[in-house]
Amino acid sequence: MSKRIQGLQSALSRSSIFSEVLCPLSTTPRRSARSLNLGLNFPENLVQSRIGRAIALLLFSTAAIPAIISHSRRKNLLIQYESLFSAFPAIVAKRLLGEEVVGDEVILMSPGTTAPTRYLLHALDCALIRMTDYVTTSSVRTLSFVRKWFPGKPTVLVPNGVTALSAELAPRAHMHELVFVGSLSAPENRVAVENTLELAESLSKKGMSFQICVVGGPARFARQYLGHEAVRNGKVIFLGILTDEQLSALYRRASIGLLPFFSPSYGGQRMKGLEYLTHSLLVISGPYGFGDSPGLVKGVHCLQAETLDDMNDLIARCISDPDSYLPVAAAGREFVKSTYSWVKVTAPYLDLVQRLLRLPPPIDRRGRDQ
């Protein structure tokens, strides 16, 4: 399950609201209070093609609809889908059961595509949003779109949160180890990796002492980069997909988190940036790294470079004079802690669910939960 789903489930659990996630396949038991594994194990080569993804989505929808209907005996039932790609079974179940549907993490599918695909996806975006009763999203772009084209549609901005660390990490006194985290199946992340390799090449020419760890898979997307000089020299290493424990260990020894995005993209890099900040990394971002992050101040909570050359110079200064940039890393950590905890960001979401289920408001337990 995604970290967003885990965060929302934790919020519901704190308010004693039962929730169950329908997923194709998971490591949890087939049925539990948290997840229902539908037993669908899609081969990786199937979901890499558009036709394959369509087949997988059809199979998931076919299995999910009866599972949703099985909950119809509950006195209070609220159906929620995560992203427009999983909206179909929720909307079909809505028609069959007459229940209300919340569309969470509604991220538009049409931006970034070319005609005629863009027009088809735009029509699909509009149709699914029209059939959804309530919209919650972490995207400011989607929020503006829904309020413009569907002014009567109840829409709530629910940013992605971060999980507080059990023990806070202090900013590192050296800045020789850098990290970039992102799924290599996303085209914008592969561009970011190519930017990272260019950065490594330029930093090597300057005689800088450093190493950049690239985290993410699938591994087949990394093969094209393994012959690069920076990889052969050990300046850039590809670690593949890490477990949460392995990633946390990497964050504990790393010092700089990279977001080398210099053109518009629609991936989850903003969430990675917040995760970097949580672990006291100094974040160095391109102009499109963080995207819409209200309250985040460039130069105070993170550093931003407008071009790849500027980022190269900025990293070199951080490596040479780390003490000058430690306050930025510390301020970034405090910003995320105070603004993007799951307890704080899920408050409007919980309020919506409470009203729809006609439940009494939850007891204020923020002092204990935060």
When pLDDT is cut at 50, 70 and 90, the band that residue 38 belongs to is low
Whether 177-339 and 3-161+341-369 are alike in CATH topology: the answer is yes
Give the model's pLDDT for residue 2. Answer: 75
Q: What is the token pair recorded at 107?
A: 């991220």
Q: How many residues would you count in the chain?
A: 370
Are 211 and 176 in contact by the 8 Å Cβ rule? The answer is yes
Query: Best-predicted range by mean pLDDT among 4-8, 263-267, 310-314?
Result: 310-314
Assigned architecture for domain 3-161+341-369: 3-Layer(aba) Sandwich (3.40)
Q: Which residues contact 276 (CB under 8 A, 6 or more apart)?
A: 179, 181, 251, 257, 259, 283, 332
Query: What are the residue boundaries of the structural domains of the chain, listed by start?
Result: 3-161+341-369, 177-339
Tell me the per-residue pLDDT of 188-242, one tens digit each, with 9 for 90 and over.
899 999 999 999 999 999 999 999 999 998 888 999 999 999 999 999 999 999 9
Rounded-to-10 torsion of CA 165, 166, 172, 175: -40
Are 65 and 89 in contact by the 8 Å Cβ rule? The answer is yes
| HEC assignment per residue over 75-99 | CCCCEEEECHHHHHHHHHHHHHHCC
pTM given for the model: 0.76
Task: Please list the residues that pair with 179 across neighbouring strands.
Answer: 213, 257
Name the 3-class secondary structure at 285: strand
The continuous run of DSSP H or E covering 134 comes out as strand 134-137
Tell me the per-residue pLDDT of 172-182, one tens digit each, with 9 for 90 and over.
778 899 999 99
Work out whether strand 101-104 and strand 177-181 pair parallel, antiparallel, or are unpaired: unpaired
When pLDDT is cut at 50, 70 and 90, the band that residue 26 belongs to is very low
In angstroms, the CA 290 to CA 304 distance is 10
The continuous run of DSSP H or E covering 319 comes out as helix 308-320
* Rg (alpha carbons) of the chain, rounded to whole number: 22
- In order of 16, 75, 367, the CA distances from 363 in angstroms are 10, 22, 11
Name the 3-class secondary structure at 102: strand
Nearest-CA neighbor of 362 among 352, 202, 79?
A: 352
What angle, rounded to 10 degrees, do the helices at 87-97 and 50-69 form? 30
Which DSSP state fits 323? G
Residue 364 pLDDT more than 80? Answer: no
Q: Say yes or no: domain 177-339 is CATH 3.40.50.2300.
A: no
Rounded-to-10 torsion of CA 180, 186, 191, 196: 10
In angstroms, the CA 314 to CA 303 distance is 8
